[in-house]
Amino acid sequence: MSLLVFGHSGQVATELRRLAPEATYLGRDRADLSDPTACAAAIHAAAPRAVINAAAYTAVDRAEDEEPLALTINGAAPTAMAQTCAELGIPLVHISTDYVFAGTGTAPWKPNDPVSPQNAYGRTKLAGEDGVRAAGGAHAILRTSWVVSAHGNNFVKTMLRLSETRDALSIVNDQIGGPTPAAAIASACLAMAGQLQRDPGKSGTYHFSGALDVNWASFAEAIFAHAGRPVTVTGIPTAEYPTPASRPLNSRLDCTETETVFGIPRPDWNRALVDILAQISPR
Catalytic residues: 121
Q: Which contiguous run of DSSP H or E holds residue 194?
A: helix 182-198
Cβ contact 181:18 at 8 Å: no
Q: Which contiguous run of DSSP H or E holds residue 39?
A: helix 36-46
Report the chain's C-alpha Rg in angstroms: 18
The alpha carbon of residue 84 and the mean position of all alpha carbons in its chain are separated, in whole angstroms, by 22
Preceding peptide of 212 cis, ω within 30°: yes
- The residue among 96, 98, 69, 102 whose CA lies nearest residue 82 is 96
How many residues are recorded in the chain? 283
Q: What are phi and psi of 209, to 5 degrees?
A: -145, 160
